[in-house]
Amino acid sequence: MSRFAAPIAEQIWDMKYRLKQADGTPVDGSVEDTWRRIARSLAEVEKDPALWEERFYSALEGFKYLPAGRITAGAGTGRSVTLFNCFVMGTVPDSMSGIFDALKEAALTMQQGGGIGYDFSTIRPRGAEVKGVAADASGPLSFMDVWDAMCRTIMSAGSRRGAMMATMRCDHPDVEAFIEAKKDPARLRMFNLSVLVTDAFMDAVKADGPWELQFGGKVYHTVQARDLWNKIMRNTYDFAEPGVIFIDRINKMNNLGYVETIAATNPCGEQPLPPYGACLLGSVNLATLVTDPFTPKAKLDPVALDELVRLSVRMMDNVVDASRFPLEQQALEARNKRRIGLGVTGLADALLMLGLRYGSTEAAAQTEAWMKAIARASYLASVDLAKEKGPFPLFDAEGYLASGNMMQMDEDVREAIRTHGIRNALLTSIAPTGTISLYAGNVSSGIEPVFAYAYTRKVLQRDGSRTEEEVVDYAVKLWRDLKGDAALPDYFVNAQTLPPLDHVRMQAAAQKWIDSSISKTINCPEDISFDDFKEVYMAAWDQGCKGCTTYRPNAVTGSVLTVSESSEKTPAEAHAPVEGGEVVYLSEPLDRPAALEGQTYKVKWPGSEHALYITINDIVIANHRRPFEVFINSKNMEHFAWTVALTRMISAVFRRGGDVSFVVEELKAVFDPRGGAWMEGRYIPSILAAIGGVIERHLISIGFIEGEGMGLKSDPKAEVVAIGGRPGKSCDSCGSYDLRMVEGCMTCGSCGQSKCG
């Protein structure tokens, strides 16, 4: 009996988390083998590994504790990989040599797939004097362009993408240019942008007072604070960026305020980190801990939660010692402070099982109570670890307990820390869980509301076959299992129908007991007024959030998947699966085996002195043969540049998988204005069309397409699909039009891919 609730869950495990040999042969025969691999690896540092392996396995079993993807994929593999998801890099020096040293460190970190955050406030503004070279400074945005190019270069080399976050203080002289940078659709596409907003600035906004933009003690401009705030809001309203980070609040609440100052976050914002700080993430699945769901006796088992949190903290603490790091400074920072980020997923589903409407005051109160229980359990577990293994090296009881976060902690927890110390400086964070939530049975993601009750996805597999399946939310599936065809109750709400201020209420309720921060997207309707939109951010500030990220679909940012639920529909009507989100590809780029079978074809174009030789090599997947690469050669040097380019482009398309027969039709349609030629009794409009004909005959010969003219007419990944009159965007990984903004990340609901990893 499979542990997976749906085919998509098993596919995600197979693609992202299942250990395989270099040739693709699975090492993990089942998900139980994956759990065993992780448990064994993280128990190796214990004095009694066998005992802790079994306990760790019990936490992982049934998707109760979900380590972040990097741990799930990397622990126990024997590979030299980092198990940390994201990093904040070192402070960028205000010198040319220092800036490019920082760029090198970023490249080395990103090469291993880590997302990175940077504060560019430390670079002097555009036009400032550069002494000794008789020149003016180009400003931080010009260097951000260099970082952006570096990220694109590493991606083009085939490395896993790591997202980037750039921050800038609200008093930097170039902050206005930073705010408006993404008006240019081609600029800084590898970055998320956030403005570091101070308490003084928010006071000035509310008072409509002046605001000085300064650097190095020199005031460059004075603006009205409210005008600058409105500029942030307008660009966020129109372009979905920049985000807002309440940086003074973060530093005031930080347990480690006595030894560090934070000026940046990881790409999704849930981990404010010091220079060279790293985030280690995992989530407890609240949906698996509810007993007697959808009955008056429904509750989240407090004993099970306490036990699960304690095991999770111990596992995550062990990751600090088990992981490798791209840079030695990152390893030192992680081991000196041992900060971890334990969060949750399945919160919305758990609330539904208790009969609570997400966003209501009752749901917010329950969320706060659960987060406090998790905070208490995690802190006391870390105290127990300190008794056994020692506190983190930079622990100082007086400084630690004086932080804003610890001042609100229960006195028994404070006294335990004062007496015994604590193993981990910070313990809680709510990170994006889109992929692992799908893997765990499509539980609601992080603390987000349910996105869609159900939708239908059509998958074109690597072997060319098509499958169709319904993807159902975890709580909805459980309701069906228990209640049959009974209509969903009125308290079932989703991200499309939830008022924005209800989102803020939930984020604020959770934030009170989260010592790091929260990755959450506040979905706003397209027709929200600008004034109401601004009120969302002011509410986030007033209610104690550490940052705010919104998403408003519009013609600039593009729309996300449109689902059938609407405010006019009853839950019963919205119960039906959604038609849409069609997936065209569900595959990783294909790796090249050492040997391939192929065929070489000769094309003699009339009037050309030399023939073209076209070699097409194939790969066999699931007993189906498909094209893998093309080589085009000719002694005619006139053809050299374009044949090399064509070789590379076609091969890249073939290796991504899916139905690539559109290449044939695209080439066959190329018309040469100088005239075509008659070949084998038919008119061929160009030499490129002749190449397309060769590829077509080859695809017919291997059974990839049925006959001449049977290829797709266009690339399904490249099509722009109109959804509700707006352009949709396709997933970079699988090609589906099932993108949604979740927890600050544009995430694919079909394959789980997100730019945040």
- Residues marked active site are found at 266, 268, 270
Helix axes 302-322, 31-43, angle to 10 degrees: 70
Helix (H/G/I), strand (E/B), else coil: 688 = helix
| Whether the Cβ atoms of residue 627 and residue 616 lie closer than 8 Å to each other | yes
Q: Is the dihedral of CA 664, 670, 674, 680 positive or negative?
A: positive
How many other β-carbons are positioned within 10 Å of the β-carbon of residue 518? 27
Strand, coil or helix: 103: helix
Among 589, 355, 642, 364, which residue's Cα sits nearest to residue 462? Answer: 589
Token digits for 755?
């730019």
| Closest C-alpha to 319, from 24, 35, 75 | 75
CB atoms within 10 A of CB 48: 9
Give whole-number Cα distances, 1 to 5, 30, 168, 473, 476, in Å: 10, 11, 52, 20, 21
Backbone angles phi and psi of 55, in degrees to 5? -70, -40
Which H or E element spans position 400? helix 397-401
The amino acid present at 398, given as its one-letter code, is: E
Q: How far is CA 620 from CA 99, 466, 627, 628, 657, in A?
A: 47, 18, 9, 9, 12
Q: Are 452 and 473 in contact (CB under 8 A)?
A: yes
Amino acid at 428: T
Q: Which residues pair with 619 in a beta bridge?
A: 626
Asked whether the CA dihedral 433, 436, 439, 441 is positive or negative, the reply is: negative
Task: Please list, in sequence order, all residues whose beta carbon lies within 8 angstroms of the beta carbon of residue 206, skipping any fewer than 6 positions away.
Answer: none
Those residues whose C-beta lies under 8 Å from the C-beta of residue 91, and which sit 6 or more positions away, are 119, 122, 263, 275
Q: Give the tokens for residue 728.
A: 């949709």
User: For residue 256, how many other CB atoms are within 10 A of its CB?
Assistant: 25
- The span from the CA of 418 to the CA of 338, in Å, is 18
Task: Give me 425's structure tokens.
Answer: 């400086």
Per the CB < 8 A criterion, the answer to whether 748 and 738 are in contact is: yes
Structure tokens at 462: 């690597």
Give φ, ψ of 615 to 5 degrees: -105, 125
Q: What is the DSSP letter of 118?
A: E
* DSSP label of 518: B
Residue listed under structure tokens 């004993």 = 303
Task: Kindly provide the residue ranges of all beta strands, DSSP E only, lying in 302-415, ordered along the sequence.
Answer: 341-345
The 3 state secondary structure assigned to 244-284 is EEEHHHHHHHCCCCCCCCCCEECCCCCCEECCCCEECEEEE
- The answer, yes or no, to whether the previous bond of 242 is cis (omega within 30 of 0) is yes
**Contact present, 123 and 161 (Cβ < 8 Å):** no
Helix (H, G, I), strand (E, B) or coil at 424: coil
355: Cα within 13 Å, side-chain hemisphere = 9
Query: What whole-number distance in Å separates Cα of residue 332 and Cα of residue 325?
Result: 9
| 605-614: long-range pairs with CB below 8 Å, 24+ | 605/677, 605/687, 605/690, 606/677, 606/678, 606/679, 607/677, 608/636, 608/687, 609/636, 610/634, 610/635, 610/636, 612/639, 612/643, 612/687, 612/691, 614/691, 614/694, 614/695
